[in-house]
């Protein structure tokens, strides 16, 4: 899926994060972009049992207007992913556009039929390490415009059928979407240094074997 320049610029800006070294403590450098096969990415995921104790969706403040341009994160994604210029009303309300929901290969022109899906759901992120994060990092995760595949516009029905399930429990209904989805899932987990439980990891390994030498890329998130 091709994103417009605005989102690419946001990603480039957020990629520059401080790295401290003994020799040059004030030096700032961008995180390196990591490239590997999907199979290698699955192997790189740390294994850990999941724990949902204490989870609340409100622990992840989302759909904020981080750059204060009047458009929430949801609307930023809709603008970025529309295949033609969106029509906007007051307060950045998105009235129309054209979106491709890759989970089910549907074309949507009414934004009311779309959800913005966290590729790795908020509850799954909590289970996989986000319970130990600061509220600021959880907010950054929930509004991640710094990676093109952390948030995607998809039909509401597919997003709601997915809910908070991982790939051991749910995969996109379109067979053509599945390798892309696995790559998005694994790269998002690696970007945010999240873990996988045993069932999830075994499923990812088995499914990735059917995706050939598919490559993934990610940059570590800051915060």
Tell me: the pLDDT tens digits for 90-140? 999 999 999 999 999 999 999 999 999 999 999 999 999 999 999 999 999
Pairing of strands 94-96, 87-88: antiparallel
For residue 223, is it within any domain?
no
The answer to whether the beta carbons of residues 139 and 61 sit under 8 Å apart is: yes
For residue 177, is it within any domain?
yes
The residue behind tokens 């458009």 is 71
Structure tokens at 203: 């499923």
Q: What is the pLDDT of residues 20-65, one digit of tens each?
A: 233 333 333 457 899 999 999 999 999 999 999 999 999 999 999 9
Which pTM does this prediction carry? 0.85
| Residue 197: half-sphere exposure toward Cβ, Cα within 13 Å | 15
- Domain encompassing residue 168: 5-218
For residue 200, give the nearest of 142, 130, 120 by alpha carbon: 120
> Based on the structure, what is the number of domains in the chain?
1
For residue 72, is it within any domain?
yes
């Amino acid at each position: 899926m091709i994103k417009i320049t605005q989102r690419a610029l946001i990603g480039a800006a957020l990629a520059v994060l401080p790295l401290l070294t003994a020799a040059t403590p004030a030096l700032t450098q961008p995180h390196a972009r990591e490239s590997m096969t999907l199979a290698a990415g699955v192997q790189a995921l740390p294994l850990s049992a999941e724990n949902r104790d204490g989870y609340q969706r409100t622990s992840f403040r989302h759909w904020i207007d981080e750059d204060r341009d009047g458009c929430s994160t949801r609307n930023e994604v809709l603008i970025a992913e529309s295949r033609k210029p969106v029509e906007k009303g007051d307060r950045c309300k998105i009235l129309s556009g054209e979106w491709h929901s890759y989970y089910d290969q549907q074309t949507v022109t009414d934004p009311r039929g779309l959800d913005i899906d966290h590729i790795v759901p908020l509850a799954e992120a909590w289970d996989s390490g986000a319970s130990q994060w600061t509220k600021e990092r959880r907010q950054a995760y929930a509004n991640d415009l710094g990676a093109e595949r952390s948030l995607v516009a998809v039909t509401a029905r597919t997003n709601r059928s997915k809910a908070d399930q991982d790939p051991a429990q749910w995969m996109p209904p379109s067979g053509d979407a599945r390798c892309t989805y696995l790559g998005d899932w694994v790269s998002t987990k690696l970007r945010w240094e999240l873990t996988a439980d045993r069932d999830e990891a075994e499923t990812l390994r088995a499914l990735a074997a059917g995706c050939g030498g598919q490559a993934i890329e990610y940059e570590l998130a800051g915060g």
